[in-house]
Amino acid sequence: MQDPLIRITERPKPPRPEELTLRFSERAVKELEAILKHYPDRKSAMLPALWIAQREYGGHLTAEALAEVAYRLGRSYAEVEGVATFYTMYNKTPVGKYMLEVCTNLPCMLCGAYRILEYLEQKLGIKLGETTPDGLFTLTEVECLNNCGDAPVMQVGDVYYRRLTPEKIDEIIEYLRTHEEHTVVQLADAEVQLHLSEQERQQIEGTQG
């Protein structure tokens, strides 16, 4: 049986202006204000603003998150949604604490990437694109991670795991279960920090508390 069609009318509806609740933290607002100074207009800061939203909203962009970005940049909801849905780096649906992104481009495929994917599916009890019931792991397939010499490769947050084997997968999963590193939210924060100078980061930290 084929999967049911997803109809345009089922897309999340943005909140009405009077229903909008702003959730950006004081830190997030200051970061956005600093980033805006790097660009000739507010629209140009949309990508880093979306990273801020992805962090502030727990790892994915809800309709409310997109509406807040639209409000803070003075753009329409449709314009912000169009940018967010164009890029795969922004999560439009809830994901796990960790995103396991396995490269299946040609070099990784030839070196066993699909065997790694199958092993992960069996180990985690989920299929590609699904999230474990405990909310820890989402398993995805991605295009080239630009590390072909160490294939097969998997990205988790801001790190690459190279030359994967089932034994290495066991070690990685156990490590992630017992640590608080390389999460989806931490990746979004790392992306935000890349848009700020060291001086700007220090100024923002100095005004907190």
Q: Per residue in 190-199, pLDDT tens?
A: 999 999 999 9
Cβ neighbours for 25, distance < 8 A, ≥ 6 positions apart: 56
CA distance linking residue 153 with residue 146, whole number of Å:
9
Residue 139, strand partner residues: 100
Tokens 């940018």 belong to residue: 83
- DSSP secondary structure of 66-133: HHHHHHHHT--HHHHHHHHHH-TTS-SS---SEEEEEE-SHHHHHTTHHHHHHHHHHHHT--TT-B-T
CA distance linking residue 88 with residue 44, whole number of Å:
19
Residues 56-73, mean pLDDT to the nearest whole number:
97
Q: What is the side-by-side order of every strand in the sheet holding 154-156?
A: 137-142, 98-103, 154-156, 159-161
Question: Is the pLDDT reported for residue 78 higher than 90?
Answer: yes
Residues 79-88, mean pLDDT to the nearest whole number:
96
Query: What letters, b where the CB count within 10 A reaches 16 and e where it falls short, cover 97-118?
Result: bbbbbbbbbebbeebbbeebbe
pLDDT confidence tier of residue 131, bands split at 50, 70 and 90: very high
Percent of the chain with pLDDT over 70: 94
3-state secondary structure of 189: helix
* CATH topology classification for 98-182: Glutaredoxin (3.40.30)
- Residues 6, 59, 163: CA angle, nearest 5 degrees: 95
CATH 3.40.30.10, the chain: domain bounds: 98-182
Residues 174-202, mean pLDDT to the nearest whole number:
97
3-state secondary structure of 51: helix
Q: pTM for this one?
A: 0.90
Phi, psi of 161 (to 5 degrees): -110, 125
Res 209: pLDDT = 59
Residues 79-93, mean pLDDT to the nearest whole number:
95
Residue 138, strand partner residues: 99, 131
Residues 159-174, mean pLDDT to the nearest whole number:
98
Q: Per residue in 112-129, pLDDT tens?
A: 999 999 999 999 999 999
DSSP for residue 157? T
Res 15: pLDDT = 86
Residue closest to 35 by CA, chosen among 50, 22, 21: 50
